[in-house]
Chain A
Amino acid sequence: MTAVSRNEVFRRFRRDRLAMFGLVVLVLFALMAILAPLLVDDDGLSAVASLDNPTWARPSGDFLLGTDHLGRSVAAQFVYGSRVSLFVGLMATIFTIAIGSIVGVVAGFAGRWVDAALMRLTDWFLVIPFLPLAIVLAAVLGRGIWNIIFVISITSWPSTARLVRAQVLTVKERLYVDRARALGASQLHVVRRHVLPNVAPLILASATLAVPISILTETTLAFLGLGDPTQASWGKTLEEAFQAGAISRSAWWYYLPAGLGIVAVVLAFTLFGRALEEILDPRLRER
């Protein structure tokens, strides 16, 4: 990872059509999540408030995306569901990256027994089977989005830690790190000024790629019924559609928006992260 000036990054990014497409999609979804109360009426989420609505209504002027088996508005569920999906995706990524980076930097930089101890700990977390852990935790802690965030973070930080450690190991051996030591810099200074800036692009790129994984994971967990029962999310919409038999009734408007929403957000993040990684990592750029 070498230095690429900020302007250069923007210029390359703008030239990358797929990345720009990803960015636009992301911005649209983010706006939708933030402005949810303005776009739809959250009465549409409540079965009680929807008692008078027709059930299984096809998309129409009254209900843009139709209604579900309880007469709730699918559009409202879709819009509010994006909030949970994006929130869980981002929060889980923040925790994943934070824990992974700290462990990776400390292990790589301190070396010796600290490294050995932290890496064994990482291995231990790496082999924890994800789904059983999620199910057990949901049973123990109750169902809720913070538990989902916790489960995702606790199982996905090890790969980030390994990635960061590997990069720190190579940066640590660079001559400018020796030079910084020679001029009387403390360990903390060397990490802050020399190691972190050189590892940051990698962390950033892996973060953008961790978001879609987290979103997909959230969907998986919600689909298995481990999500928060009180909050609409795309995963939960899919689960309820499945349970209510939307597929056999060919009520495509019930399950398709949530499914496409997930695909779109995951794809957008992947395109964006991929482009960022390519720009910041010269080895991928030279093709």
Chain B
Amino acid sequence: MKPAPFRYADPRSLEEALDVLAADPGAKVLAGGQSLLPLLAMRLAAPATLVDVNRVPGLDAVEVTGDGVRVGALVRHAQLLRHDAAARVQPLLARATANVAHPAIRNRGTTVGSIAHADPSGEMTSVLALTGGSVTVTTAAGRETVGWQDLFVGPLETSLSGGAVVVDAFFPALPERSGTAFAEIARRKGDYAVCGAGVVVTLDADRRVSAVRASYISVGLVPEVHDLTEAVAGKPVDSADWAAAGALARTLVDPDSDIHASADYRRLLVGVLTERTLADAAREAAERTAA
């Protein structure tokens, strides 16, 4: 249970980090390390060089504007969880972060690192998708924005090149007259979810359902956003049939079986969690919509 030998670099600027990455195709970026270090300990990964970005200045800020929340690469889950201004603009951030592992892991693990790790059982990959978010990627060639649809390729795999550093993630603000909810089922609180769901419900000015979107955890190979609007479109918020939306969701997902749960059980949980979270999100959307 010891990592294989590696070279270690702790650059003091982004430029220096990019130089070290460019010099070694086998280099890997280390931020919070709460996913990477277990992989090293179990020797599922053995990068030649670790580029520890923890001492790079300027990556630890949460910036909140009316448009959304920009989360720097070194922002810990715990920091985002207690960021009230971020939660007001996009409530899914705190709701999902509260489900990320245990407090001791959240104190060290980073939200952006979790996204770059691209684990389909990660909460924040799903939230990036559900909110229509993006990441800012820096390479030797410059800086670019990569939308969530172009980021996730497969389990633990992104479209980014080895020489890239993700410097922040941007989560757009919750639209008007909308509510959110997030819930997951795990064997033990804080463990990887057997299944999780994040939802956004949007109403029109007459408090009728105009849009319903959902994204699931530990379901599928990459984060996906499912549009469930047709099951409840135009229904008054107080009488919409959320079970119908749950039933629709079950037909849209394609979960896998593993030692923790069968595909059928996961599909069942998708229905249950969808119905449950939509009822909560709808209540919140109604509160945010003037009668």
To the question of whether A and B form a pair in one complex, the answer is no
Q: Chain A: residues with CB nearer than 8 A to chain B?
A: none
